[in-house]
Amino acid sequence: MFACLSTSFPALLSRRAFVCRTCLRHIRRQQLSANSSIIHLQSRLLQTSTPAEDAVSFRKQLKDEAKMKRLERGSNPSKKKSKGRDPRLEKWELTVGIEIHAELNTARKLFSSAATSSSEAPNTHVALFDVAFPGSQPHFQRETLIPALRAAIALHCEIQSRSTFDRKHYFYQDQPAGYQITQYYEPFAKDGRITLYDHDGIAPEDGKSITIGIKQIQLEQDTAKTIQQPPSTHLLDFNRVSHPLIEIITLPHIHHPSTAAACVRKIQAILKTVNAVTAGMEMGGLRADVNVSVRERYRNVEAGHGNSYYGVTGLGQRTEIKNLSSFKAVEDAIIAERDRQIDVLEAGGVIEGETRGWTLGSTETKRLRGKEGEIDYRYMPDPDLGPVIIGQDVIRYLRESLPLLPERIEDMLVNSPEYGLTLKDSKTLAALDDGDRLDYYLDVVRILRKECKDDSKSLERVGRMAGNWVLHELGGHFSTAEQEWSESTVSSIQLASIILHLLRRQVTGRTAKILLSTIFHGDNRSVEQIIADENMTLRPMSRDEYLAFAKELLEENPDMVNAIQQKRQHGKIMYLVGQMVRRGDEGRVEAGTAELVLRELLEIPSET
């Protein structure tokens, strides 16, 4: 088993760090007011003149600013960018490396026993060590390793049996100790990879697939949450301090902005699948920094020429864009910085190593500060934390119990005869609701296959039919009602029963949709009881009835008939099918039969 050889201290205040009794009594007198309020900083002083409850949401302000910028660009055609390929890209090659910070799914913080509940009231889950109280010490929480190891295994990394913690020194308002504890010299995982395919959204220039190397994955602590209230007020919430993070560092193997966005998207999907994280970019649980450089595409790369990084040579001077919080922001920020660097180089300038920022809705990156290097951070081994030792039995167990990864799930859903879904539907199922929608779908299919085991014709349709009803019919109800997904609203047994009645031609498609809507909106009767009570059982029309009904409809719509026969607009047949279903008695008109009869009368061959 793994173990952390760290210094231990007596646990006080629910296993918080040690502090002398006199100081403890003083702290208790202050905590009633201190822990229930947000720490205010104005112009880097601990005071403010703006009440927090009167402040405008910073996110709302960003959205308003972005909207104004879009309006300005729309009103000035000269500022619109051409959507065609920039001819300069024939000369200049873009290179991108990504650093992804993901918040781990753990109950406790990395170095204290405080809960990881950043959604609670500000500054209510803060241990003494989290705010760097003098004399407090870090206590490594070993359970935080489990989701980190799952992530590293899923990304094909080599797990190091021994890893250590280091201090990364810098002063900023969200870092109370003046340093961050991370793993710089000896991370717990190294030398991984991720393969992206064309259906993941990579650039067409990358072909069918591209493999991106992962230099390392390291554990580190998160910083406080800063809420800016312009012009000069900053609010700090220390609930997030020491949340356990993993930093995933890719190699500079990416050469297109869309591939970079696809890489972040797929890494997020993998982390969610293996339950390493609780939230993605959309909820602030994952953030990305991108390192961008350009170089002349056809220049000979000689030894010692240009910059190098972990075996990749001949690189241009890179800049780093910090804290990108959406996939679109990753792509747009890279494009803007690539174009800026090309402009500078073609004007005879030199790219400076610096940290830059990106604002929602902007078209340019903005300089924040000069780029820090290893010497600036003054990395040193943390003297209060011993090495982390991970046993092979733990790695073996986690590897054997790892859930199926997204690409394996997609392959199974698309290529297995049990399911036969389209690639689009399989990717959607795998991504929705942290896997709950996929589990629900698999339950529906399992029930249907058991009921249809002696009917080979129905068995062939079960997978796709269930996919359509789970994703589109039932999913549409949740979207319309603006409700979060819940399998208890319509159980998998109820949905399977509706589909089964449809497969056996006991109800029409329209009736099946009415059944689903009835149950979704709270009817507690069984499917069979609703059908019996509401007289919904299919009463098929005869062929003569279908022919008479279809002829009457065609006579009423001569323009539609002309469009279908003369202009070959065969898709309009489905409009006529819909009219027959709607105008027919409930439970009598089957859409498939109606379409066949209409095609026969219109002399349009059936689609294969």
pLDDT tens string 13-38: 233 333 333 343 343 334 333 333 33
Both structure tokens of 403: 């859930």
Q: Are residues 593 and 447 in the same domain?
A: no
Q: Are residues 509 and 580 in the same domain?
A: no
DSSP three-state, residue 531 = helix
Q: Are residues 207 and 143 in the same domain?
A: yes
Does some domain include residue 447?
yes
Helix (H) or strand (E) holding 399: helix 392-400
Q: Are residues 252 and 144 in the same domain?
A: yes
Per-residue confidence (pLDDT) for residue 1, from 0 to 100 = 35
Q: Are residues 224 and 260 in the same domain?
A: yes
Question: What mean pLDDT comes out for the span 150-177?
Answer: 94
Q: Are residues 196 and 119 in the same domain?
A: yes
Q: Tell me which of 533, 554, 585 is where a domain ends.
A: 533
Contact status, residue 262 vs residue 201, Cβ threshold 8 Å: yes
Question: What mean pLDDT comes out for the span 557-564?
Answer: 87
Q: Please tell me the distance from the alpha carbon of residue 492 to that of residue 450, in angstroms, as a whole number.
A: 14
Residue type, 476: G
Question: What mean pLDDT comes out for the span 70-77?
Answer: 50
Per-residue confidence (pLDDT) for residue 60, from 0 to 100 = 53
Taking Cα atoms as reference points, which of 271, 286, 375 lies closest to residue 324? 286
Both structure tokens of 329: 């922001």
Does some domain include residue 16?
no
Does some domain include residue 378?
no
Q: Please tell me the distance from the alpha carbon of residue 263 to that of residue 202, in angstroms, as a whole number.
A: 8
Lowest average pLDDT, out of 147-151, 175-179, 190-194, 282-286, goes to 282-286
DSSP three-state, residue 103 = strand
Per-residue confidence (pLDDT) for residue 587, from 0 to 100 = 65
Does some domain include residue 31?
yes
Per-residue confidence (pLDDT) for residue 370, from 0 to 100 = 81
pLDDT tens-digit readout, 437-471: 999 999 999 999 999 988 888 898 999 999 999 99
Q: Which domain holds residue 178?
A: 21-48+88-95+103-286
Per-residue confidence (pLDDT) for residue 228, from 0 to 100 = 83
Q: How many domains does the chain have?
A: 3
Q: Are residues 192 and 281 in the same domain?
A: yes
Per-residue confidence (pLDDT) for residue 545, from 0 to 100 = 80
Q: Are residues 501 and 578 in the same domain?
A: no
Q: Are residues 164 and 29 in the same domain?
A: yes
Cis? peptide before 231, omega within 30° of 0: yes
Does some domain include residue 237?
yes
Does some domain include residue 171?
yes
Strand-pairing partners, residue 41, are 234
Both structure tokens of 593: 């039969």
Q: Are residues 561 and 451 in the same domain?
A: no
Look at the pTM and tell me if it is higher than 0.85: no
Per-residue confidence (pLDDT) for residue 300, from 0 to 100 = 57
pLDDT tens-digit readout, 278-307: 887 877 789 999 999 999 987 655 545 678
Q: Are residues 460 and 585 in the same domain?
A: no
Q: Regarding predicted confidence, which is higher, 584 or 196?
A: 196
* DSSP label of 107: S
Does some domain include residue 388?
no
Q: Please tell me the distance from the alpha carbon of residue 77 to that of residue 84, in angstroms, as a whole number.
A: 16
Q: Tell me which of 512, 533, 554 is where a domain ends.
A: 533
Q: Tell me which of 479, 498, 533 is where a domain ends.
A: 533
Question: What mean pLDDT comes out for the span 364-373?
Answer: 82
Per-residue confidence (pLDDT) for residue 604, from 0 to 100 = 83
Per-residue confidence (pLDDT) for residue 7, from 0 to 100 = 34
pLDDT tens-digit readout, 114-161: 999 767 889 999 999 999 999 999 999 999 999 999 999 999 999 999
Q: Are residues 163 and 25 in the same domain?
A: yes
Does some domain include residue 164?
yes
